[in-house]
């Protein structure tokens, strides 16, 4: 079957680092998306990994291991505005398999 | 650069009424999707399309219908609205090209349509 798992909720402190994990099982895997979604808004694109390894974009980095079916999103120097849900999605042929999202709570 | 446009943004329906959520994209994307998202939950795929004239069911198609007569438009029809269809609906589009590693083939989302059935 196809499924994708990520933690439901995480809490971190402003200025700290947090890693949000995502594991997936799909057929015909093409790549792995990470999206950010603030409450009441549409998801916005953060990253798309096709190849194994780490991709860094400013404070956000995303890692992929295709052999392990594993990805993580790393957020550094956390700011209060990073409080949001983070969705991972596996691209499998024409389909997108979405995780339920990880709600990240940032405390001062 | 409009991207993905959804209308209406908010709507209240009575049980048994019908309506159409409109979705249009101006990026010439072949793939389009309709999702619903219930409070605190992830995205559930209702229907998708890989090109004009082609549609297929997702995880939760019951109570909905779609059409794709043009590349640009992908309307979602609710027939006989039920309270269980109260949700936020997102339309999305993409144009995947797996021949380009790390092409960043982004999924573009509309702003969402908040639907309440009472």
Q: Quickly state the pLDDT bin for B97 (edges 50, 70, 90).
A: low
Please give the pLDDT value at position B104: 46
- Is A81 in a helix, a strand, or coil? helix
Question: What's the CA gap between A28 and A49, in Å, rounded?
Answer: 15
Instruction: Give the number of other CB atoms < 10 A from CB of residue B5.
Output: 14
Average pLDDT, chain A: 93
Please give the pLDDT value at position A28: 84
How does pLDDT run across A76-101, given as a tens digit for each residue? 999 999 999 999 999 887 778 899 99
Average pLDDT, chain B: 90
Please give the pLDDT value at position B41: 86
DSSP code string of A37-60: E-TTS--EEEEEE-SSEEEEETTE
- Assigned token pair, B5: 């446009």
Nearest to A48 among B104, B109, B111 (CB): B104
Question: What are all long-range contacts of B58-64, with beta carbons under 8 Å and residues at least 24 apart?
Answer: B58/B33, B58/B34, B60/B36, B64/B34
Q: What percent of chain B has pLDDT over 90?
A: 75
Please give the pLDDT value at position B1: 62
B102, A95: Cβ pair inside 8 Å? Answer: no
Question: What's the CA gap between A94 and A89, in Å, rounded?
Answer: 12
CB contacts of B41 in chain A (<8 Å) are: 100-101
């Amino acid at each position: 079957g196809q499924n994708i798992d990520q933690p439901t909720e995480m809490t971190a402190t402003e200025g700290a680092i947090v890693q949000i994990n995502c594991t997936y099982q799909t057929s015909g895997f093409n790549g792995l998306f990470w999206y950010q979604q603030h409450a009441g808004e549409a998801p916005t694109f953060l990253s798309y990994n096709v190849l194994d390894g780490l991709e860094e974009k400013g404070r956000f980095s995303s890692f992929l291991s295709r052999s392990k079916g594993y990805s993580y999103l790393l957020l550094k120097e956390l700011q209060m505005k990073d409080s949001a849900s983070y969705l991972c999605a596996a691209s499998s042929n024409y389909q997108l398999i979405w995780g339920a999202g990880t709600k990240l709570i940032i405390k001062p | 650069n409009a991207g993905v446009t959804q209308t209406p943004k908010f709507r209240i329906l009575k049980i048994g009424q019908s309506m159409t959520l409109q979705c249009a994209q101006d990026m010439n994307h072949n793939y389009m999707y309709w999702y619903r998202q219930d409070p605190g939950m992830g995205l559930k795929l209702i229907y998708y399309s890989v090109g004009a004239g082609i549609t297929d069911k997702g995880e939760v198609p019951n109570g909905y219908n779609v059409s794709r007569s043009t590349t640009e438009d992908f309307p979602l029809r609710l027939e006989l609205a039920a309270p269980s269809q109260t949700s936020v609906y997102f339309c999305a589009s993409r144009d995947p090209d797996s021949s380009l590693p790390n092409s960043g083939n982004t999924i573009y989302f509309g702003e969402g349509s908040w639907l309440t059935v009472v």
